[in-house]
Amino acid sequence: MSTPGLSSSRFDGYSEARLLKRAKWSDGLFAVLGLLVLVATLLVLGALVADFINDGASRIDGDFLTSYPSRRPGSAGILSAWVGTTLVMIVTAALAVPLGVAAGVYLEEYAPKNWVTEINVTNLAGVPSIIYGLLALGLFVQTLAMGQTILVAGITLALLILPILIVATRESLRAIPQDIREASFGLGADQWQTVSGYLLPAARPGILTGAIVGLSRAIGETAPIITIGALTYIAFLPPSPVSASPPFVNFDWLNSPFTVMPIQMFNWVSRPQAAFHENAAATGVLLLGMTLLMNGFAIYLRYRLRRTVRT
Amino acid sequence: MATDSTLTMSTPLTAVRLVPTDAFLRRRHLLDRTMRVVLFLAAAVSVLVTAGIIYVLVSESVKFFAQVSIWDFLTDTQWTPVFQDKHFGIMTLLSGTLMSTLIALAIAVPAGTILAIYLSEFARPRVREVIKPFLELIAGVPTVAFGYFALLFLTPIFQKFIPGLATFNLLVPGIVIGIMILPYIVSVSEDAMRAVPDSLREGAFALGFTRLQTGLRVVVPGAFSGITAAFLLGMSRAVGETMVVAVAAGQQAKIAGNPLEGAATITSYIVQLSMGDLPHDSIAYLTIFAAGLTLFLLTFAFNLLAFWLRRRYREAY
């Protein structure tokens, strides 16, 4: 295979034909190989989903969703875990989306091109999630003594997905034709009017995609939350954010201890008893369902976006 | 940049703009200035995060290295921070990390290269559009779910074929990490391959190259720095991967020589220690920051190199 067909064609027609045949044959062989690798990869994904459904789907019922974790696997549930996940995600979304979009807008539309910020964002996106956990442990839990609360977990995950949102915002801004900006400036708009009136609305679908992908990553993230020391037995709910009496809304829940679904799943899968593994699988089915749905929706949005841009 | 102020200061337009007197324009100008500062502060947060990470890791590690010499840290072959006889040899944890990473790369590098060549040179655009989302879905699966899959699904199957395979081992988590980083490697290297101009392909086809020959001798060399960057980024992810090894690779800190046995990695050690309730001034508590600093430096080096390589191929075409 080291000599291409051309060089040997000088000598005789017979070997040329053979080389050509062999080249075509290896071409076909590679196509088959590529397909095989592809099918194998997708099979693994399929096996994973099937395994979870097989092990855990039957365990999911009303009681499972409305019970606290327990020493007896049969009566244990994920009430505190899914409530915790919901509340942490509210904090994460409320911080990461505005912060990420604002940072993305600044880096793309305002800041001069600068390799320090470029490296910074690329590097942040590649920092292992557990390092964010160490940051939160050292800074929020230790130095600022904020405790292992919903607020700390929400901030940590928000910082973790910040690069995803920044990159998504920048890429969708970059895709907007320069004419739009020039037209806006030409009409006498200043930079903020251009950004808020024309660029952000045009970039909205791309930003939404980034936000969904980022949040689905945050939902499944386990390591940083373990690192801040939140792997504990939680059999109560945080104080309710809304109440019947004035002022109707309160933020006490931000300072409450918590657990989240991936933590609960990790806790159960680390135990030797098979009955707890079933609980872990059931939690996994719900987690997988949420993250795959969110990712699927993001992919659909991106697909539709690409089609509208093309036409 | 500050076009407004320079205009009002130095040009006759001052009289027309009426900035100081018109309340509407003044408000508008103020909003523009304010938002500029607000957006700048948001961007500054992302830089502060990096600074915060480095500060926390370094300041806690300094306390650690005040008690343990760097030489011992790098050369000791035992890791027993919570025992009576304390040893702090990071090589034990590092060997576990490197072993699982090597296994992951042994899966992801060949499979990723084949898939990337297949997608960029062989698959029809319609097929590619359908397949890539499915690969992206793999990247969306929570890592703790992959851990469960490795421990309770794959390991029992592998044990039927490999007799000496322990329940907690490095082989299966390594393979699973390989599958996890595969979509990432494929998407970055396919990106690089597609950046190779079509004129090079057309030239190769005109010379009688087949698709495979074009792929291997024209496109892959042309996209080489981008493909290397993809491997580096995959490697950085494999090194930092936590939950799969925390669930399925065991917690025994030892020099990992046999992939059929379990061993702790840097990441699984941090998880293991964080689950306990250690006093925050103890040396054992400080070890997770020293281990974290090692991990950060490793991934930072890989990411930086990959950044540089990717920028090079972008400039090339």
Q: State the nearest Cα–Cα gap between A249 and chain B, in angstroms.
A: 27
Q: Do A193 and B289 touch (CB under 8 A)?
A: no
My answer on whether B229 and B157 are in the same domain is: yes
**Whether residue B127 is found in the same domain as residue B276:** yes
Please indicate, yes or no, if residue B137 is contained in any of the structural domains: yes
Q: Do A269 and B151 touch (CB under 8 A)?
A: yes
Total of domains in chain B: 2
DSSP sequence for A121-174: HHHHHHS-HHHHHHHHIIIIIIIS---S-HHHHHHHHHHHHHHHHHHHHHHHHH
Task: Determine the distance in angstroms separating the CA of A289 from the nearest CA of chain B, rounded to an integer.
Answer: 9
For residues B120 and B245, membership in a common domain is answered with yes
Residues 6+ apart with CB under 8 A from B178: B103, B104, B105, B106, B107, B108, B111, B238
CA angle A160, A166, A170 (to 5 degrees): 160
Nearest CA in chain B to A191: B32
Is residue B83 situated within a structural domain?
A: no
Domain identity same for B60 and B130 = no
Tens-digit pLDDT profile for residues B197-223 = 999 999 999 998 888 989 999 999 988
Q: Which residue segment(s) compose the domain that B152 sits in?
A: 90-316
Write out chain A residues lying below 8 Å of B298, CB-based: none
CB pairs under 8 A, 24+ apart, for A72-76? A73/A268, A73/A273, A73/A275, A73/A276, A73/A278, A73/A279, A74/A275, A76/A268, A76/A276, A76/A279
Together in a domain, B56 and B125: no
Residues of chain B contacting residue A221, judged by C-beta atoms under 8 Å apart:
142-143
Chain A nearest C-alpha distance from B301 (Å): 10
Q: Residue B35 and residue A231: Cβ atoms within 8 Å?
A: no
pLDDT at A43: 92
CATH code, domain carrying B111: 1.10.3720.10
Final residue in a domain of this structure, among B36, B67, B98: B67
Q: Are residue B235 and residue B177 in the same domain, yes or no?
A: yes
Distances (CA, A) of B210 to A17, A217, B124, B244, B305: 14, 41, 16, 41, 33
Closest CA to A100 of A185, A218, A182, A11: A218
Does B308 fall in a domain?
Answer: yes
- Could you tell me the two tokens for B230? 């993809």
Domain membership of residue B21 (yes or no) is yes
Shortest Cα–Cα distance, B272 to chain A (Å): 9
A127 → closest Cβ in B53, B133, B217? B53
* Portion 152-171 of B in contact with A at CB < 8 A: 152-153
Q: Is B96 in the same domain as B63? A: no
Q: What is the per-residue pLDDT for B111?
A: 94
Beta bridge partners of A242: A249
Nearest to B307 among A4, A122, A220 (CB): A122
B-chain residue closest to A135, CA distance: B53
Q: Would B78 be classed as within a structural domain?
A: no
Per-residue pLDDT tens digits for B252-293: 877 777 888 888 888 998 988 888 777 777 888 888 999 999
Please report the pLDDT score of residue B124 as a whole number: 86
Model confidence at B227: pLDDT above 50: yes
Note the pLDDT of residue A240: 73
The average confidence (pLDDT) of chain B is 85
* Residue where one domain finishes, among candidates B67, B82, B105: B67
Distance separating alpha carbons of residues A5 and A3, to the nearest angstrom: 7
Check whether residue B56 and residue B115 sit in a common domain. Answer: no
Cβ pair A284:B145 closer than 8 A: yes
pLDDT tens readout for residues A116-168: 777 888 888 889 999 999 999 888 888 888 878 889 999 999 999 999 999 99
Point out the domain boundary residue: B22, B52, B67: B67
Are B30 and B176 contained in the same domain?
no
Give how far B148 is from chain A: nearest CA, Å: 7
Q: Tell me the shortest Cα–Cα distance from B248 to chain A, in angstroms.
A: 9
Q: Which is more confident, A288 or A240?
A: A288
Q: Is residue B104 part of a domain?
A: yes
**Inside any domain, residue B73:** no
User: Both B61 and B104 in a single domain?
Assistant: no
B190 inside 8 A of chain A by CB: no
Residue B2, helix vs strand vs coil: coil
Note whether A111 contacts B43, CB cutoff 8 Å: yes
- Token pair 């931000």 is found at A254
Determine, yes or no, domain membership for B57.
Answer: yes
Mean of the pLDDT values across residues A260-288? 87
Q: Does B308 contact chain A (CB < 8 Å)?
A: no
Are B19 and B109 within one domain? Answer: no
Helix (H) or strand (E) holding B272: helix B266-275
Residue B36 and residue B119 in one domain: no
Q: How far apart are CA A304 and CA B96, in angstroms?
A: 44
What is the per-residue burial (b if ≥16 Cβ within 10 Å, else e) of A198-231? Answer: bbbeebebbbbbbbbbbbbbbbbbbbbbbbbbbb
Residue B299 CA to residue A106 CA, distance in Å, equals 27
Chain A residues with CB under 8 Å of B117 CB are 30, 34
pLDDT tens across A156-209, in order? Answer: 999 999 999 999 999 899 888 899 899 999 998 889 999 998 999 988 888 998
